Chain A
Amino acid sequence: MNRLIAFIGVALLARAAAAQPIDVDMFIGSSAQGSGALRMAYDFCRPVVVTESLTVDGLTRWTSTQPGFNALAVSRPGSIYVLRDTTPIEVVLRAVDPGVTLKVGSTVLDAPGSMALIGNVPDVHLHPEWRLLLPEGQGGEFHLQLSLHTGATAYDDSPIYRFTITTVAGSDGCGDGETTTTTLPPATNDRLVAGTTLLLRASPSNAAKKAMTLTFGDAFDPASTDPTVTGGQLRILSNAANSFEGRHELPASRWKPLRKHGTLRGYRYKDRRGAIRSIVWTFGGLVRVQGRGAGLKHSLAGDPEPVDVALALGAERACLHFGGTVSYSPGKSFRADNAAPPAACAP
């Protein structure tokens, strides 16, 4: 009798220890309770195995609906936490191999910077269509990178997650061991730029009254930079005692060319609902960025000087460093004019 109980007890313990629950879907939460960065719990070593759907005109469509996105229902202390209700979650395509697309609801993500709404917490349960279009008879392993974004002020964007899309069942999605990366896609051409003006405003009692204006001389090469294709990112950083860092996605879909008499004169970015409301880049003129709302991450509780700014458009990145001639009103405003170019882009 005792031997039987002992045997069953050992068997139960062994089974409990061996069985590691696997996340069926990618569960979305945050790195801290009620704040922090968005993140996903999932075994990213598992590749997305696509299967053949249809071959037409020499092209084969491969698809899969696994894995899906899901809101985390129960926090895992020390790892990932449940998000606040109504938090909107958007998925942003950060990099993609040719032939790979992601259909999220009615939106097809096919270029870096394109994004789509997954849902509002807790109503987040969406299986995208992972899609691959290849010449008939071909297969192999491909990649795409995604991050999560929210307009909710409490959370920052997630790290970038790298997925392996494969036509071969049983392959190892980790490949060279890389599972996720927290770095932005590298800009291959850094430009160290003099800043004309940086104006940050804040209200101690109302975060929605935050505002930002940034102006600097054109630093991008229009021949190799097209934000309507690549989108961009804006980063604002202070390493002063009251440090802050804001990273803002500038999706390609929100950029439009500026033309005059049919000639391309620059690009305009517009997002009436985002933290970055508008950017106007006039070739050979100025780049002017305007932001507003609680989505801006700066804090003026302490003097933020110096403030580093990096605007990346495609493979080019303009880096600015605002210090020196500044005016600072505690809690209300920070203004820096005529900043010299930095020695290097802020890490």
Chain B
Amino acid sequence: MRRLLVIVGMLVASLGVRVGPAAAHHVTDFLMSTPPGGGNELIIAYEFDTTVAPLAFSFGIGTTSVYSGTNPGFDAADGDEFLDGVQYHVFPPGVEISVELVDNDGGRTAMKLNGVTLSKPGDTVVLGTAGGQPPGDLHHHPEWLLFVDGPPGTFADGEIAFRLTSTLPDYTASRTYTLKLTNGHLPPVDFAADTFDRASADCQRAVGKAVDPYIHATYGALRRCLDRLVTVRAQLVASRNVDAASAAAGRVCVPMVDKLARLRTRAAAAIEKACGAKGSKDFTADEISQHLTLAQCRAQETASASYFRAQTYLKALSAKGTSLRDLFPCVFRTSGEEEGRS
């Protein structure tokens, strides 16, 4: 009798899985479950550290550009779900899952989910119920939103942090997960199917070819400038006269602004030629611009990581009335670095 009930229970459980929404999970989505090794904490299986959510321009509000995207979405394990060889647990029917916004990067990011916009920490929305039929199920794609100060084509990235909660005492809230949102990643090229698509392949190659020297030039110019400014700093510390060193730094640092602007124009033109309206039509001018700024930003970040006080050094110089610190906005200030004279 007991064995029979166990078998019946297994049958019911397996049937419960089958009658759920068809073909639920997709590897590109968040896989919600509980720890494969046991435990009642809600978890999300997803490579948060190495995956970004690419967003595209949606609309403008005054001087703010709003970027949006719908990937990744939320989904639950559906019974035969393996990820990296691990089988994830299925939520029993009736388990309700909610999403709570934990941090939205100072108001720069938000998500709209199930008709509710989560725009400040603590905002919560019910995602759905395990075993529910659409739209009450657990497979939903939010609108990930990024608010950018500037016109379309302005690069920006941001982060959004959230956690899962459940009303059932059987489950504890998940840890906080942080997703990176960006408009700097290019969309996929659209390869033709009926013939070898040389134009799109050339476009993709042109992007790599144009970005490569631009990154090197940005890093190189910034490095040479910072080297000069480090010399000024060293002489200051030694109470030496720094006039000559400062003048030398100015001669190296100020012209790099125009030089990098020219290189950027050249890189954008090369990509536009291969990928824009007269090329493969894979990317818009705004997408190219955002991507080049991303490349420039990463080069600035890397250079500044090598030079403690890099931002403070740059603040001391200006080109055409604008501080170099403002012209290189992705140069980071290291925590502990004092503001002030270089």
State the A residues within 8 Å of B (CB): 1, 5, 8, 12, 15-16, 19, 21-25, 27, 46, 49, 51-54, 56, 61, 63-68, 70, 73-74, 86-88, 90, 103, 105-107, 117, 119-120, 125-129, 150-153, 208, 272-275, 293-295
Contact code string B50-74 (vs A, CB < 8 Å = 1, else 0): 0000001111010000001111010
Please tell me if B337 contacts chain A, counting CB pairs below 8 Å: no
Query: CB distance A16 to B15 under 8 Å?
Result: yes
Contact among A52, A56, A293 for B61, CB-based, below 8 A: A56
Query: CB distance B23 to A65 under 8 Å?
Result: no
Query: CB distance A87 to B193 under 8 Å?
Result: yes
Query: CB distance B59 to A61 under 8 Å?
Result: yes
Name the interface residues of B64-98: CB closer than 8 Å to any CB of A: 68-71, 73
For A293, the closest partner residue in chain B by CB is B194
State the B residues within 8 Å of A (CB): 1, 4, 8, 11-12, 15, 18-24, 26, 28-29, 56-59, 61, 68-71, 73, 112, 115-117, 133-135, 137, 139-143, 187-188, 190-195, 197, 199, 284, 287
A212 CB to closest chain B CB (Å) equals 14
What are the residues of chain A within 8 A of B28 when measuring CB–CB? 125
Query: CB distance B26 to A70 under 8 Å?
Result: yes
Given A106-B187, A128-B70 in contact, is the A21-B193 Cβ separation under 8 Å?
A: no
Query: CB distance B73 to A127 under 8 Å?
Result: yes
What are the residues of chain B within 8 A of A53 when measuring CB–CB? 112, 117, 143
Measured in the bound complex, the distance between the Cα atoms of B11 and A70 in whole Å is 29
Contact among A46, A51, A126, A153 for B115, CB-based, below 8 A: A51
Query: CB distance A86 to B73 under 8 Å?
Result: no
For B23, the closest partner residue in chain A by CB is A73
Measured in the bound complex, the distance between the Cα atoms of B19 and A48 in whole Å is 23
Contact among B11, B18, B194 for A275, CB-based, below 8 A: B194
A10 CB to closest chain B CB (Å) equals 12
Q: Which applies to chain B's interface (DSSP): helix, strand, loop or mixed?
A: loop
Query: CB distance B143 to A23 under 8 Å?
Result: no
Measured in the bound complex, the distance between the Cα atoms of B69 and A128 in whole Å is 8
Instruction: Name 11 extra pairs, CB < 8 A, besides A23-B23, A151-B194.
Output: A15-B19, A24-B21, A27-B23, A51-B115, A53-B117, A68-B141, A70-B26, A126-B70, A127-B73, A152-B194, A273-B199
Query: CB distance B190 to A22 under 8 Å?
Result: no
Contact among B21, B56, B115 for A103, CB-based, below 8 A: B56
Measured in the bound complex, the distance between the Cα atoms of B193 and A295 in whole Å is 9
Measured in the bound complex, the distance between the Cα atoms of B197 and A328 in whole Å is 32
A150 CB to closest chain B CB (Å) equals 6
Measured in the bound complex, the distance between the Cα atoms of B133 and A46 in whole Å is 12
What are the residues of chain B within 8 A of A103 when measuring CB–CB? 56, 58, 68
Given A22-B133, A63-B143, A66-B140 in contact, is the A153-B194 Cβ separation under 8 Å?
A: yes
Query: CB distance B24 to A24 under 8 Å?
Result: yes
What are the residues of chain B within 8 A of A87 when measuring CB–CB? 193
Measured in the bound complex, the distance between the Cα atoms of B134 and A27 in whole Å is 14
**CB-defined A-B contacts under 8 Å, sample of 30:** A5-B4, A12-B11, A16-B19, A19-B19, A21-B22, A22-B133, A22-B134, A23-B21, A24-B21, A53-B117, A63-B143, A65-B70, A65-B73, A65-B143, A70-B26, A87-B193, A88-B191, A90-B190, A103-B68, A105-B56, A106-B56, A106-B57, A107-B56, A117-B188, A117-B190, A129-B58, A151-B193, A273-B194, A274-B192, A294-B195
What are the residues of chain B within 8 A of A64 when measuring CB–CB? 115
